[in-house]
Amino acid sequence: MNRYSIVAGFALMLCLRMVAQVPSTLNYQGRIAVSGVNFTGTGQFKFVLVNGAGTQSYWSNDGTSASGGQPTAAVSIAVSSGLYNVQLGDTSLTNMTAVPATVFANADVRLRIWFNDGTNGFQQMTPDQRIASVGYAMMAGTVPDGSITAEKLAAGVGGGAIADGSITAAKLASGAAAVNLAAGGLSAVAAGGILGSTDPNNAAMLAQGFMRDPAVIQSDGIWTPMPSGDSVAGHTAVWTGTELLIWGGVTPASNAGAAGYAAINRGVRYNPTTGAWTPISLAGAPQARFGHSAVWTGTEMIIWGGQTTDTTSDMATVLATGGKYNPATNTWSSIFPNMDTSGPPLGIPDARTGHLAFWTGTEMLIWGGASTTQLLGASTALPVSLPGKRYNLASNAWSSMADTNMELFSPMSYRGVWTGSEMIIFGGNVGDSAPPRAGRYSPTVNAWQALPVMPGTPNIDSGFSAVWSGTQMIVWGGVSGAGTTYLNSGYRFDPAAASGLGTWSAISTTNAPAGRNGHHAVWSGSEMIVWGGSSFVFTPTPANVLYNDGGRFNPSTNSWQALSSTDAPPARVAATATMTGSKLVVWAGIQMDPGMPNTSMAKYLKHGGEYQPSNDTWNALTNGSPSPRLGHTAVWTGTDLIVWGGTVSSMSVTGYDPTLSDGARFNAATSTWTPLPSLNAPVGRFGHTAVWTGTEMIIWGGQRFDASTGSPMSVTLNSGARYNPLTNTWSTTSLAFPPSARSKHTAVWAGPPVNRMVVWGGSSDGVIMGVNTGGQYDPSQNSWGAATSTTNAPMAVSGHLSRWTGSEMIVFGGGLTNGSRYYPITNSWLTMSQAPVGLSAPPTSSFASVWTGSDLLVFLSTGLAPALGSYSPISDVWLSPSTSGAPSGSSSFNYPTAVWTGSEMLIWGIVDGFPSTSTSGARYAPATDAWVALESTGAPSTPYGISVWTGSEVLLWGGTVGDGMAGVSSSDKGHRYRLPQNYYLYRRP
């Protein structure tokens, strides 16, 4: 089945790069759809110019096509909402050769195209596109001056004169007539011709004699994804010498079952020198996976093995496949599946996950792992019973290692190193003075050698690390005593000692980091750097904890030095730590209770840190939008969307704080994200408020989880901070006489003449204890004024809405049967008239509302019939506008957002089903009392936590269907929605 289609017209035109010269490239413009949906992303294209029958290749993008066949290499082209553009013959593009003018000496030339979206493979587009006369100008441009004699001229052409009518329109260069007319201030449109314009009163067209046609054409609204990057865990990272290649792993996904994640086959390239992040091509990439291995050959990254995820049934498959990635060409190529014909077993794919992989210089060595699937971070599967394997890159063939007959504790209980000539595997040491499980493997002789007995009483079970120093393997940390004792001890193995038999020696524990397992260890060139990991502590209460500290071990002096903790990245698991020349780069991963492998309530990360050993400093590292979250806030500055705070779960989670204290700015003009600074940023929180003053964003209130006295407890806050985008700095709000601590309150910015933030209502415990108090904050004085009056104030509520009209704050919802109006200047309340019955809803119901400039619009969808109310403060009257065509959802997790565009209320986030089976939105125009559904093509599949109106489009970002519960996940994605555009027709009489 052909999944791709050309859904709109295309154009071939001369690319006028040189004035008065014939160009050497052709500009191709087209549109592509995948399964009926306009494609957005980086696509892979192949182009061939063929004869009319399609049996002869005149030219191809890489010069490899024969007989009309598919070229070998592809051209990467950005596609936005299905639209793309390419200069055929532009040699500045990778895999693009010049188009010879002689191609158009042929009578019938057609363009043949293949496309790959990165998932469905290359497919040929049909039909081939015929090149019109425009292409033949390239051939005509090669005719030398003076080579056309009188014998070649048409009858009547001679003596320097050209007969009238001898040059027809077909002989004119494309656009030549229009350019000539435009130069004279004239239009090239003939009588009766029609032009379109977005200007209902286009003065230039009217001045040329056009008349406005009464008909108006409206385009569809357009959805476009915002750039995001991936919040990922269980990925791999390799260092090429100039770039860090990060690939695969899992990312949070809705409808993913209890695991809450889905594997990906995406990746990025990070250049520490320039700080640039570049996506890895999707064309030809291996199947999505985690638990895989990655090695660097010197020119390519080889990905192999691992396991898939199944987002519908939680079933997964262990893989015996992989791929090779070449960063020089940004292309993938396949490798032969691990099916060793020499056995054992004969001809059976050897699939495994969680294995080790090493590059010898000519071969990739694979050892250990599990043959059955497991959850991310778990080690419950049985170890693979097969011997290790060798993959020869030159022959693209697999062979088996000699078997060690080693009994392993689990598929994750071993580590290994490559010495330059041997692979040394250490699989733990159970029992006093017992020999270590595993040994030394020499690919040259295909033989194993046992490791000697370790000194003392090591009793190392699992969770340790191993690095190669250039002369010794250093093993450190881990657990013993069936996982009850966490070690901060280690050993060195010198394979050259004792006449090549090797010897073990203990290393110092003085100043070593606290005992831990699952940590990272890398070799810097002179030291072993240890970072991260986890352990179980008994005080103040028994709990699993994550570490974000570490140490440096110098084998020359047998001594430890602590790593600086200043600006160190947050603790995490399932991350990568890679030495990139002179820096250690820690990237991504998740924060979760390490004792609970279920990751449905984990905090997926999209940031890391760079550690510089030379000066013992950390620098923050980010890529793309903020990490997944809900309960965050957002404001629009006029140029940027600022996202801050939130949480991955509104429930306490043992082992880490799920709240977030970071954020980022999205510039709509450049479509780029910039992280907010952490210096002086407020403590992490959710359920807080944010307002934009015109120069600053003010954050206040909310709640977080505090584990300082034992199990994490919800704590409400009465603190806040101000962020200034111009100076990119934070400053705290006054703590003198603020309103009482609360969450789920509202705040509005009351502009001139008030110029204060007005806070009201909320919950004192973050759950059910409502309050009916508030306060006014003056940023110019950094002070709180008198508390809001309680005389005639609404009853204590939370989860309500507040809107500023220009002179008063309107409060509605949260269980109120009728709202109230607050006047900050007089500090007084006025009760509103009774709202329509349809808007009477339980306190937990979520309303969407906007202020139109004259009226308050309130929309409610609770699974029953939708309700809409319009309130006029001037007349104190509620109206019940039409709900015909309004969106309606059956899910109890309906938390729609709404913006006012200047003429319409736009709503998104109406969910039907749970977990979400469909999400929709609509536009309501008060002038016509009519609803119009938002377009589904390109629309997001889930609701969003926030929305803002920029003046020309809606930005939606973050949030989730549910509340961080199992089977539902928070989001780090966003979309832009541009309203349908009116086109006005102008006709030439």
Give residue-wise pLDDT tens across range 627-645.
888 889 999 999 999 999 9
Reading across the β-sheet that carries 905-912, which strands appear in turn? 897-900, 905-912, 918-925, 930-933
Q: Domains in the chain and their CATH numbers?
A: 4-140 (2.60.40), 191-220+840-989 (2.40.128), 228-401 (2.120.10.80)
Using DSSP bridges, classify how beta strands 244-247 and 479-480 pair: parallel, antiparallel or unpaired.
unpaired
Q: Are 68 and 112 in contact (CB under 8 A)?
A: yes
| Rounded CA separation 144/750 (Å) | 74
C-alpha dist (Å) from residue 260 to 252, 309, 570, 653: 6, 10, 22, 16
Q: What is the mean pLDDT of residues 834-845?
A: 77
| Rounded CA separation 631/699 (Å) | 13
Question: What stretches of 69-195 show up as alpha helix (H) in DSSP?
Answer: 137-140, 176-183
Residue 442, Cβ density class (10 Å: 0-12 exposed, 13-18 middle, ≥19 buried): middle
Q: Are 436 and 428 in contact (CB under 8 A)?
A: yes
- Give the model's pLDDT for residue 231: 87
Q: What letter does residue 150 receive in the DSSP assignment?
A: G
HSE, side-chain direction, 13 A CA sphere, residue 380? 10
| Rounded CA separation 512/488 (Å) | 6
- Give the model's pLDDT for residue 941: 74
Q: What is the mean pLDDT of residues 284-297?
A: 95
Question: Given pLDDT bands bounded at 50, 70 and 90, which one contains residue 412?
Answer: low
Q: What is the mean pLDDT of residues 942-952?
A: 86
674: phi then psi, degrees, rounded to nearest 5: -130, 125
Question: Given pLDDT bands bounded at 50, 70 and 90, which one contains residue 175?
Answer: low
Percentage of residues of the chain with pLDDT beyond 70: 81
Say if residue 530's pLDDT is above 70.
yes
Least confident of 208-212, 380-384, 688-692: 380-384
855 against 340, higher pLDDT: 855
- Give the model's pLDDT for residue 297: 98
- Per DSSP, which regions of 168-221 are E strands? 194-197, 211-218
| Rounded CA separation 974/957 (Å) | 4
Q: What is the DSSP string of 854-868?
A: S-EEEEE-SSSS-EE
Percentage of residues of the chain with pLDDT beyond 90: 49
- Retrieve residue 836's tokens: 């329509």
- Retrieve residue 814's tokens: 């949260």
Question: Given pLDDT bands bounded at 50, 70 and 90, which one contains residue 15?
Answer: very low
Average pLDDT, the chain: 84
What is the three-class DSSP state of 982?
Answer: strand
**Backbone dihedral region of 297: left (phi > 0), alpha (psi from -120 to 50 degrees) or beta?**
alpha
User: Is the full-model pTM beyond 0.85?
Assistant: no
- Give the model's pLDDT for residue 430: 64
- Give the model's pLDDT for residue 38: 79
Q: What is the mean pLDDT of residues 342-363?
A: 81
C-beta atoms surrounding 567 within 10 Å: 14
Say if residue 734's pLDDT is above 90.
yes
Question: Given pLDDT bands bounded at 50, 70 and 90, which one contains residue 137?
Answer: very low
C-beta atoms surrounding 972 within 10 Å: 22
Q: Are 976 and 221 in contact (CB under 8 A)?
A: no
- Give the model's pLDDT for residue 172: 53
Say if residue 730's pLDDT is above 80.
yes
- Which run of H or of E encompasses 203? helix 203-207
Say if residue 756's pLDDT is above 80.
yes
- Which run of H or of E encompasses 207? helix 203-207
543 against 334, higher pLDDT: 334
3-state SS string over 300-367? CEEEECCECCCCCCCCCCECCCEEEEECCCCEEEECCCCCCCCCCCCCCCCCCECCEEEECCCEEEEE
Say if residue 481's pLDDT is above 60.
yes
What is the three-class DSSP state of 180?
Answer: helix
Q: What is the DSSP string of 645-693?
A: --BS-SS--TTS--B---EEEEETTTTEEEEPP-TTPPPP-BS-EEEE-
Reading across the β-sheet that carries 447-450, which strands appear in turn? 415-418, 423-426, 439-442, 447-450
Q: pLDDT digits over 858-903, tens only? A: 998 876 688 999 999 999 999 999 999 998 876 655 678 999 999 9
Contacts of 90 (CB under 8 A, 6+ apart): 25, 96
Say if residue 16's pLDDT is above 50.
no
- Give the model's pLDDT for residue 313: 47
Say if residue 539's pLDDT is above 90.
no
- Give the model's pLDDT for residue 167: 53
Question: Given pLDDT bands bounded at 50, 70 and 90, which one contains residue 42?
Answer: confident
Question: Given pLDDT bands bounded at 50, 70 and 90, which one contains residue 17?
Answer: very low
- Retrieve residue 896's tokens: 């729609």
Q: What is the mean pLDDT of residues 615-637?
A: 90
| Rounded CA separation 284/278 (Å) | 17
Say if residue 3's pLDDT is above 50.
no
Among the listed residues 19, 13, 21, 30, the one whose alpha carbon sits nearest the alpha carbon of residue 134: 13
- Retrieve residue 955's tokens: 């930005």
964 against 831, higher pLDDT: 831
| Rounded CA separation 640/676 (Å) | 12
Q: What is the mean pLDDT of residues 782-798?
A: 94
Reading across the β-sheet that carries 774-778, which strands appear in turn? 746-750, 756-760, 774-778, 783-787
What is the three-class DSSP state of 519?
Answer: coil
Contacts of 475 (CB under 8 A, 6+ apart): 415, 426, 460, 464, 465, 466, 490, 491, 492, 493
Least confident of 230-234, 246-250, 306-310, 652-656: 652-656
Q: pLDDT digits over 666-690, tens only? A: 999 988 899 999 899 999 999 999 9
C-beta atoms surrounding 310 within 10 Å: 15
- Give the model's pLDDT for residue 96: 92
- Retrieve residue 25's tokens: 């490239």
Q: What is the mean pLDDT of residues 599-615?
A: 84
